[in-house]
């Protein structure tokens, strides 16, 4: 799978376009560096919340309530932690009698997971005196080792926010059996961290970390019984961040489905905290939660997993089921999310989810992908067409590859991604991360009902201009899902928008349809179609209007147990000679007759 730079045989016209693009990228980098170096002028709450660590009405002297932790816990992991084995982000470290906070971390992701203390929930689930003592000893060890001087990865905004939320939610296990001296050290540390977070938040450029900090500060204000003034200011800051980052249709501005999962996992317990304490919650939080739930359902396939767009990796199925159980079980998924740039088509048990939006703002694009107009297809519990997804934390060597257009089920022109990123091997990544420098600026989207043939079908008509500046073409895609749910027809067309640029560019495109690892693909004898055998015996066919169809290797990054080998269907051509390709996925009679009955049409899908 390839998808990075343009091909080696670039003509002079395309070379001039590349030079223009390079100059433009330099200006964008200069702007990003200038923005990164400047301070964000924002003093809404820093000074008042800093009083959480000082004497007075905001002093963190006691805990009055602990929020619920919705994340799944595994009590068997408590034994590993007690034995000194810490397994995070694909890496296992044996502390060997040393403090885990003094062991050189094998990766940044491992260090963040350790310092975030989310693993305390496993010790609480063990429900033993040994686990409680171990939890208290490790927290005390961190306070002594890392908690006195705010420096290093333990004190970055996102890690401090996660640690505060973990300590608050797991305070029953931390404080069970604690003496007065430990209790005071623990509360002083919470106050110190909250004060640091309040001071760091106005300077934090990453929106997701800023929102996590606002949630943590609101939680601290409620859990420590801070003064009503501090609680109101915390609620106001949280409301402002949610208004900025949660779009009217419920999507997050970064366009990553996993962000919705993470936010709801923290916001739902916070909403309950407000109710338990009899404090009026910010209206923006209640509205955001109500909008996010239907948006989360938009991404959901029949097997309970979420579609793989813009940084989404493996779905935490148990956690997702818990989140959806908080909402109305009869609530329907939103289908037309224009603000977030996503579309959903559903007919009986067949689901199509499509990315029909522009890239997120540069400041929020560090994990966004070049997957404009890509889609995923599933039939009941069987996923068929997927995107490759994002690798889990600790697999940074694959992250850039997973972000390219070639890792998505869409059309790619001249082996070039529709978005350009800050290069992962450049010196600026440590400063800026890897945001999108340029990508599609205009994405059109139209939903329509196709009246012929009868019964009517559902159609999405879309286009994007991500290839206009370099190759002079516009990518148009049309998807039509039959009401019977047994056929998805598509057309991909490259229309010339700048004749001189299109005439000078290399003439090649490739349609890619990545398949889920559970799908077994094989070409027909004439090489112009493919048979797709799904678990349970259902068979689908793929054909591309008589063009040759290839079955090639691919990789699925979003498997719960790590990257897995899979396959993809590809159709190649030249846009000057073949400007349009029609294709279809069609369901045929199942190969195995004895099977469980399908759900009734439009039946509610199971939560897990």
**pLDDT classification of 436: cutoffs 50, 70, 90:** confident
Question: What is the number of alpha carbons within 13 Å of residue 367 lying toward its C-beta?
Answer: 23
pLDDT at 461 > cutoff 80: yes
pLDDT at 9 > cutoff 70: no
pLDDT at 25: 56
Handedness of CA 87, 92, 97, 102 (dihedral sign): negative
pLDDT at 453: 65
Handedness of CA 512, 518, 519, 521 (dihedral sign): positive
- Cβ atoms of 479 and 373 within 8 Å: the answer is no
Q: Which domains does the chain have, with CATH numbers?
A: 41-205 (no CATH), 334-588 (2.70.98.70)
**pLDDT classification of 30: cutoffs 50, 70, 90:** very low
pLDDT at 60: 65
pLDDT at 590 > cutoff 90: no
Look at residues 492, 486, 511 and name the one whose alpha carbon lies nearest to residue 569: 511
**pLDDT classification of 433: cutoffs 50, 70, 90:** low
pLDDT above 90 as % of the chain: 74
Q: pLDDT by residue (tens digit) across 102-144?
A: 999 999 999 999 999 999 999 999 999 999 999 999 999 999 9
pLDDT at 44 > cutoff 50: no
- Cβ atoms of 165 and 221 within 8 Å: the answer is no
- DSSP labels for 47-72? HHHHGGGSSSTT------------S-
Q: Alpha carbon 129 to chain centroid distance? A: 37
Average pLDDT over residues 295-304: 96
Q: pLDDT by residue (tens digit) across 210-245?
A: 999 999 999 999 999 999 999 999 999 999 999 999
**pLDDT classification of 260: cutoffs 50, 70, 90:** very high
Q: pLDDT by residue (tens digit) across 354-365?
A: 999 999 998 898
How far apart, in whole angstroms, are the C-alpha atoms of residue 604 and residue 108? Answer: 41
Q: pLDDT by residue (tens digit) across 150-175?
A: 989 999 999 999 999 999 999 999 99
Q: pLDDT by residue (tens digit) across 510-545?
A: 999 999 999 999 999 999 999 999 998 899 999 999
- Cβ atoms of 516 and 566 within 8 Å: the answer is yes
Beta bridge partners of 523: 530
Least confident of 201-210, 242-251, 430-439, 447-456: 430-439
Question: What is the number of alpha carbons within 13 Å of residue 263 lying toward its C-beta?
Answer: 32
Element (H, E) at 421: strand 420-421
Q: What radius of gyration do the chain's Cα atoms show? A: 26
Reduced 3-state DSSP string for 162-209: HHHHHHHHCHHHHHCCCCHHHHHHHHHHHHHHHHHHHHHHHHCCCHHH
**pLDDT classification of 592: cutoffs 50, 70, 90:** very low
- Taking CA atoms, 276 is separated from 178, 217, 279, 280, 290, in Å, by 25, 17, 8, 10, 19
pLDDT at 34: 47
pLDDT at 422: 78
Q: Retrieve residue 60's tokens.
A: 């963190």
- Cβ atoms of 383 and 303 within 8 Å: the answer is yes
- Taking CA atoms, 62 is separated from 58, 175, 292, in Å, by 11, 11, 33
Q: What is the pTM of this model?
A: 0.87
- DSSP labels for 71-137? S---TTHHHHHHTTEEEETTEEEE-TTS-GGGSPPSSHHHHHHHHHTTTHHHHHHH-SHHHHHHHHH
How far apart, in whole angstroms, are the C-alpha atoms of residue 20 and residue 11? Answer: 14
pLDDT at 18: 47
The set of long-range contacts for 102-110, using a CB threshold of 8 Å and a minimum separation of 24, is 102/145, 105/153, 107/394, 107/396, 108/153, 109/393, 109/394, 109/396, 110/86, 110/394
74 CB-near residues (< 8 Å, 6+ apart): 122, 125
Neighbours of 515 (CB within 10 A): 25
How far apart, in whole angstroms, are the C-alpha atoms of residue 221 and residue 190? Answer: 11
pLDDT at 329 > cutoff 80: no
- Which residue did the predictor score with more confidence, 362 or 499? 499
First to last CA, the chain: 32
pLDDT at 366 > cutoff 80: yes
DSSP state of 492: E
Q: Alpha carbon 428 to chain centroid distance? A: 23
pLDDT at 593: 45
Three-state DSSP at 37 gives: helix
Q: Cα dihedral angle (35, 38, 43, 44), rounded to 10 degrees?
A: 10
- DSSP labels for 270-334? HHHHHHHHT-PPPHHHHHHHHHHHHHHHHTB-TTSPBP--TT--S--HHHHHHHHHHS-TTPPPP
By 3-state DSSP, what share of the chain in percent is helix, strand and coil, each rounded to 5?
Answer: 40, 20, 40
The vertex-336 CA angle with 335 and 342, nearest 5°, equals: 95
- Taking CA atoms, 218 is separated from 101, 189, 275, in Å, by 27, 17, 13
DSSP state of 511: E
Q: pLDDT by residue (tens digit) across 181-221?
A: 999 999 999 999 999 999 999 889 888 999 999 999 999 99
Annotate 155-171 with b (16+ C-beta within 10 A) or e (fewer).
bbbbbbbbbbbbbbbbb
- Residue carrying structure tokens 């923005």: 35
Three-state DSSP at 586 gives: strand
The vertex-309 CA angle with 307 and 314, nearest 5°, equals: 60
Handedness of CA 396, 37, 115, 226 (dihedral sign): negative
Across the chain, mean pLDDT equals 87
pLDDT at 40 > cutoff 90: no
Average pLDDT over residues 370-396: 93
**pLDDT classification of 46: cutoffs 50, 70, 90:** very low
pLDDT at 97: 86
């Amino acid at each position: 799978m390839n998808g990075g730079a343009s091909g080696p045989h670039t003509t002079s016209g395309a070379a001039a376009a590349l030079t223009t693009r390079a100059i433009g990228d330099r200006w964008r980098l200069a702007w990003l560096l200038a923005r990164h170096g400047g301070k964000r002028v924002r003093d809404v709450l820093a000074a008042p919340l800093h009083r959480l660590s000082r004497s007075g009405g905001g002093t963190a002297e006691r805990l009055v309530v602990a929020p619920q932790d919705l994340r799944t816990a595994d009590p068997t992991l408590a034994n590993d932690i007690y034995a000194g084995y810490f397994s995070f982000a694909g890496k296992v470290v044996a502390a060997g009698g040393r403090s885990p906070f003094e062991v050189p971390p094998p990766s940044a992701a491992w260090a963040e997971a350790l310092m975030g203390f989310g693993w305390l929930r496993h010790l609480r689930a063990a429900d033993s005196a040994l686990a409680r003592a171990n939890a208290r000893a490790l927290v005390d060890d961190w306070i002594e080792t890392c908690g006195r001087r705010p420096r290093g990865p333990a004190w970055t905004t996102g890690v401090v926010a996660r640690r505060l939320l973990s300590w608050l939610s797991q305070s029953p296990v931390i404080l069970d059996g604690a003496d007065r001296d430990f209790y005071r050290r623990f509360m002083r540390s919470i106050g110190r961290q909250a004060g640091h977070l309040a001071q760091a938040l106005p300077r934090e450029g990453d929106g997701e970390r800023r929102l996590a900090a606002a949630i943590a500060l609101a939680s601290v204000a409620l859990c420590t019984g801070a003064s009503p003034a501090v609680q109101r200011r915390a609620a106001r800051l949280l409301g402002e961040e949610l208004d900025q980052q949660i779009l009217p249709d419920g999507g997050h501005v970064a366009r990553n489905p996993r962000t919705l999962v993470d936010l709801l996992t923290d916001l739902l317990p916070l909403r309950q905290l407000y109710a338990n304490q009899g404090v009026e919650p910010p209206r923006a939080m209640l509205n955001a939660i109500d909008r996010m739930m239907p948006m989360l359902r938009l991404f959901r396939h029949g097997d309970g997993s979420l579609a793989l767009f813009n940084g989404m990796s493996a779905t935490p199925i148990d956690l997702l089921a818990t989140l959806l159980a908080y909402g109305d079980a009869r609530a329907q998924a939103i289908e037309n999310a224009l603000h977030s740039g996503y579309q959903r088509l559903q007919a009986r048990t067949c689901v199509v989810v499509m990315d029909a939006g522009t890239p997120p703002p540069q400041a929020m694009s560090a994990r966004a992908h070049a997957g404009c107009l890509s889609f995923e297809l599933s039939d009941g519990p069987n996923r068929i067409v997927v995107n490759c997804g994002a690798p889990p934390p600790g697999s940074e060597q694959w992250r850039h590859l997973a972000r390219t257009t070639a890792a998505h089920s869409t059309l790619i022109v001249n082996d070039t991604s529709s978005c350009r990123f800050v290069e992962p091997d450049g010196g600026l990544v440590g400063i800026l991360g890897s945001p999108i420098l340029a990508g599609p600026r205009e994405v059109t989207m139209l939903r329509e009902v196709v009246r012929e043939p009868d019964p009517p079908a559902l159609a999405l008509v879309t286009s994007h201009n991500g290839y206009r500046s370099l190759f002079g073409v516009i990518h148009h895609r049309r998807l039509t899902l039959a009401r019977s749910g047994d056929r998805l027809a598509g057309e991909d067309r490259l229309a010339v928008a700048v004749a001189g640029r299109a005439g000078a560019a290399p003439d090649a495109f490739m349609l890619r349809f990545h398949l889920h690892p559970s799908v077994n693909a094989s070409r027909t004898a004439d090489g112009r179609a493919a048979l797709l055998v799904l678990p349970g015996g259902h068979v689908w066919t793929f054909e591309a209007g008589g063009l040759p169809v290839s079955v090639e290797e691919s990789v699925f990054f979003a498997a719960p147990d790590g990257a897995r080998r899979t396959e993809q269907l590809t159709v190649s051509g030249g846009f000057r000679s073949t400007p349009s390709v029609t294709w279809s996925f069609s369901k045929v009679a199942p190969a195995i007759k004895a099977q469980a009955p399908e759900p009734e049409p439009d039946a509610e899908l199971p939560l897990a």
